[in-house]
């Protein structure tokens, strides 16, 4: 009874810190949600842009198949432009073979470079890590936000191609197979995101270097995947992530579990290596 009196006697106090919207406050609870909130516009722009481009190119299919570009240059065979006669063949060339995977690669490189490197460049990482959060935990929260962005892009791309599936005569491909391709797309983004994040985490290099190295690696491995058949070294394709992303032709055959698992395993290994090194090095200024 006395406690009740004591409680009512307590003056009401403001419970919120001014500055920032209710949404900002709600997202400011953890490192993961805060990173998502801080990147909300960037992630949205990536998802919308990738989705719209995928939708635009997918809807070109009826014209392209009518023109029946049978004479694709020999050099372009490896890039998947050799079969524009079927919906799956066309999409594996222009949309899921070139445009979307390269965009997602650049998303991974650009976002990954900002997860550790950018804040280490400015010195903000010092402040965050002087708080009760371990280096591994910070890395995982940051990477989880990047992963959420990659999933968003893959989901937007899937929604975009499904939206034109009937109107663009793409209904020979099942929804499940589109989803399988979207899963691989997300995994590709996760992989290159892990490369850039881990380069920053492991070496403390600048944001520009982490981005440049990852983007360069992405473009190089894309070219290698495309040209390998021409130089008679098909086996080289197995060294590039693009093989595991599209080599199993998910649009025709559905999810290739082994390929997807390999991409995921490489991602986990990269993040683990990045965390291992991050825990053992000095933070730069």
Partner 1 sequence: MTTPIELTELTKMYGTRRGLAGLTLTVEPGEVFGYLGPNGAGKSTTIRLLLDLIRPTSGTARVLGLHPRTDAVQLHRRIGYLAGDFVVDGRQKAGECLAFLASLRGGVPATRIIDLADRLDLDLNARVKSLSKGNRQKVGLVQAFMHQPELLILDEPTSGLDPLVQQTFLDMVTEAKAGGQTVFMSSHIMSEVEAVADRVAIIREGRLVALDTVADLRARSFLHVRITFAEPARAEEFIALPGVTDVRVDGNTLGCRVDGSPDALVKAAARHTITGLHADSQDLEELFHTYYAAA
Residues binding partner 1 (CB under 8 A): 13-20, 24-25, 28-31, 34, 38, 119, 122-124, 126-134, 282-283
Task: Please state, as a whole number, how many other Cβ atoms lie within 10 Å of the Cβ of residue 79.
Answer: 22
Residue number, 138 or 164, with CB nearest to partner 1: 138
283 with 116: CB under 8 angstroms?
Answer: no
Cα–Cα distance for residue pair 282/104, rounded to 1 Å: 31
**Minimum distance of partner 1 from residue 208's CB (angstroms):** 18
Residue number, 68 or 280, with CB nearest to partner 1: 280
Cα–Cα distance for residue pair 133/111, rounded to 1 Å: 21
Which residues 6+ apart lie within 8 Å of 58 measured at CB?
91, 95, 160, 161, 164, 168, 170
**Minimum distance of partner 1 from residue 283's CB (angstroms):** 5
**Minimum distance of partner 1 from residue 31's CB (angstroms):** 7
Structure tokens at 138: 């910070």
Residue number, 24 or 175, with CB nearest to partner 1: 24
**Minimum distance of partner 1 from residue 12's CB (angstroms):** 11
Residue number, 22 or 258, with CB nearest to partner 1: 22
Residue number, 162 or 283, with CB nearest to partner 1: 283
Residue number, 124 or 238, with CB nearest to partner 1: 124
Cα–Cα distance for residue pair 214/109, rounded to 1 Å: 5
Which residues 6+ apart lie within 8 Å of 135 measured at CB?
129, 275, 278, 279
Report which secondary-structure segment, H or E, holds 176.
Answer: helix 175-203
Through-space distance between the first and last CA atoms of the chain, rounded to whole angstroms: 57
Residue number, 30 or 206, with CB nearest to partner 1: 30
**Minimum distance of partner 1 from residue 195's CB (angstroms):** 24
**Minimum distance of partner 1 from residue 13's CB (angstroms):** 5
19, 22, 24, 28 alpha-carbon torsion, rounded to 10°: 100
Best CA proximity match to 96, nearest among 55, 65, 68, 66: 55
**Minimum distance of partner 1 from residue 5's CB (angstroms):** 22
């Amino acid at each position: 009874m006395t406690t009740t009196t004591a409680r009512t006697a307590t003056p009401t106090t403001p419970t919120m810190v001014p500055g920032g919207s209710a949404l900002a406050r709600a997202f400011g609870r953890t490192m993961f949600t805060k990173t998502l909130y801080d990147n909300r516009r960037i992630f949205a722009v990536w998802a919308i842009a990738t989705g719209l481009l995928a939708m635009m190119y997918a809807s070109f299919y009826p014209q392209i198949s009518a023109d029946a570009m049978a004479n694709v240059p020999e050099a372009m065979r490896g890039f998947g432009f050799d079969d524009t006669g079927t919906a799956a063949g066309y999409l594996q060339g222009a949309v899921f073979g070139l445009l979307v995977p390269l965009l997602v690669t650049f998303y991974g490189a650009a976002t990954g470079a900002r997860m550790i490197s950018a804040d280490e460049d400015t010195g903000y990482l010092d402040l965050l890590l002087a708080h009760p959060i371990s280096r591994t935990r910070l890395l995982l929260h940051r990477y989880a936000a990047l992963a959420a962005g990659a999933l968003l892009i893959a989901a937007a791309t899937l929604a975009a191609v499904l939206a034109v599936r009937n109107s663009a005569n793409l209904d020979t491909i099942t929804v499940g197979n589109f989803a399988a391709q979207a899963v691989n797309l997300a995994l590709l983004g996760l992989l290159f995101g892990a490369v850039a994040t881990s380069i920053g985490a492991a070496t403390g290099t600048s944001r520009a270097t982490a981005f440049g190295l990852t983007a360069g690696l992405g473009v190089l491995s894309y070219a290698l995947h495309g040209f390998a058949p021409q130089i008679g070294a098909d086996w080289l394709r197995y060294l590039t992530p693009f093989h595991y992303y599209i080599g199993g032709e998910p649009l025709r055959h559905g999810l290739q579990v082994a390929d997807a698992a390999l991409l995921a395993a490489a991602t986990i290994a990269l993040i683990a290596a990045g965390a291992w090194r991050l825990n053992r090095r000095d933070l730069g200024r």
